[in-house]
Amino acid sequence: MFQFIDDGTITSVNGFKAAGIHCGIKKRKKDLALIYSERSCNAAGTFTLNKVKAAPILISKKIIENKNKVKCILINSGNANACTGEQGHNDAIRVQEHLAAKLGLDPREVLISSTGVIGQPLPMETVLNGINKIYDIVSYDGGLDAAEAIMTTDLRIKSYALKVRLSVGTITIGGICKGSGMIMPNMATMLAFITTDAEIDQPVLQELLSDTVDQSFNKITVDGDTSTNDMVILLANGVSGININKHTYDYKLFAEALSAICEEMAKSIVVDGEGATKLIEVSVNNAKTLKDADKIAKSIANSPLVKTAFNGGDANWGRIISAAGKSGADFNPLKAEIYFNDLPIMMPNYRIVIDELKAAAILNLDQFSVSLDLNDGEFSTTWWTCDFSQEYVKINANYRT
């Protein structure tokens, strides 16, 4: 009931405009993005659980919690405005107020977001001049420019949209995101901005987003680090005139479509992981509880030993069962089975049935799955991770240069 749009983006959604420009925070690349809705939106958001939160997070989180209507989101890249104290907070407020004045809005209608280097003051003159340039050039063709402007170490633009056929008509969902390293629930140095022309009450919108994020963005990991700046924002402007109410068939269809686009964005972050060469799906099946399943999948997906083995195409199954064992989950290792794709590796009672040549061939693919069947219950989960390469070290050793 939904279909992805070729070259889709946030401005594939009716009533949304966007722009992305280079304002001077970075040396050459685009670094300022603006997403703007012609109509006021209901807004939902999820935010980092890191105790160290950047100033834009605190400001935008309060707007969402107060259920304020929202008209736009301003995002800068290259500077996180995190760990910048009172000055950073005042700078963020000034940025918000400056854009609001340009657009004739109440500052509470303006969400703000930053990503980049931590601990450096926001270059205010540069950002304010950027606002002076960007506020009146937003367009229906600006979604991809905005997606480019929020990137930091990303190697590719991450932009998607899909059409959803409901019982009373068709609505659209669009999204852009950024993230490559410092990726780990809850959540990561990732930003995601999602738009829809459906009309959805704010409490329902928030519930939809929270549930979806838990099954997508909160099940990816690149390196196990949680950031100070991450957020996922969902704006619904209602331009389609189609209202989506809870406990209806259309609600179910919308939830499925939202899940699909968020999962696609989440996986795109892992694929673009710093130095990553492989996308690995980690499935844990038949656990006693969902909590146990997630603990084990997270432990495997985060293990540097597992991830380096994957990079080298080494079918080192011992690292996988060891990572499961240290997770703190309740399971009986003697019942466990391990598979690479559909290839059996380890059977119950540690019976090793690995075909080294076939296993190595799977691990040298760009994408593959690792499954751990616990044979101990009825709960399952899926996470996504990537391998660790030498390039990851190079990127993060020189991030500020």
User: Which tens digits make up the pLDDT trace of 28-82?
Assistant: 999 999 999 999 999 999 998 778 888 999 999 999 999 999 999 999 999 989 8
Partners of 283 in the β-ladder: 371, 382
Same domain, 181 and 47: yes
Return all residues near 183 (Cβ < 8 A) that are at least 6 apart. Answer: 189, 190, 220, 221, 222, 223, 225, 269, 270, 273
SS3 127: helix
The one catalytic residue among 46, 189, 195, 226: 189
pLDDT digits (tens, 9 = 90+) for 214-240: 888 888 876 655 566 788 999 999 999
Residues 292 and 369 in one domain: yes
Q: With contact defined as beta carbons under 8 Å apart, do 77 and 151 qualify?
A: yes
Query: Which amino acid does the sequence have at 345?
Result: I
Tens-place pLDDT, residues 149-207: 999 878 889 999 999 999 999 999 999 999 865 544 443 457 999 999 999 999 999 99
Q: Which of 224, 254, 271 is the last residue of a domain?
A: 271
pLDDT at 398: 61
340: domain CATH number?
A: 3.10.20.340
**Domain of residue 34, CATH code:** 3.60.70.12
Query: Would residue 189 show up in a list of annotated catalytic residues for this protein?
Result: yes
**If you average pLDDT over residues 257-282, what whole number do you get?**
87
Is residue 24 located within the same domain as residue 160?
Answer: yes
Phi-psi region of 120 (alpha: psi -120 to 50; beta: other; left: phi over 0): beta
- Do residues 243 and 107 share a domain? yes
The yes-or-no verdict on residue 394 having pLDDT over 80 is no
Q: Say what the alpha-carbon torsion angle 301, 302, 307, 309 is, to the nearest 10 degrees.
A: -90
Contact 69, 98 (CB under 8 A): no
Single out the residue in 226, 247, 271 at which a domain terminates: 271
Question: Which of 178, 290, 201 is closest to 254 using CA atoms?
Answer: 201
Are residues 256 and 305 located together in one domain of the fold? no
pLDDT given at position 189:
52
Task: Tell me the pLDDT band of 145, cut-offs 50, 70 and 90.
Answer: very high
84 and 149: one domain? yes
Average pLDDT for 235-251 = 96
Indicate if 215 and 347 belong to the same structural domain.
no
* In a shared domain, residues 332 and 373: yes
Judged against a pLDDT cut of 80, whether residue 272 lies above it is answered with no
pTM for the full predicted model = 0.86
21-25, 271-275, 315-319, 355-359: least confident range: 271-275
Last residue of a domain, one of 219, 253, 271: 271
Task: Report the alpha-carbon distance of residue 315 to residue 340 in Å, rounded.
Answer: 9
Task: Check residue 395 and give its pLDDT.
Answer: 61
**pLDDT band at residue 92, thresholds of 50, 70 and 90?**
very high
The reply to whether 14 and 143 lie within a common domain is: yes
Considering the domain architecture, whether residues 195 and 84 belong to the same structural domain is answered as yes
Segments forming the whole domain that contains residue 392: 279-397
Other Cβ atoms closer than 10 A to 194: 25
Residue 379 has a CB neighbour count (10 Å cut-off) of 17
361 in the same domain as 284: yes
**Total count of domains within the chain:** 2
263 and 295, same domain (yes or no): no
pLDDT digits (tens, 9 = 90+) for 312-360: 898 999 999 999 999 999 999 999 999 999 999 999 999 999 999 999 9
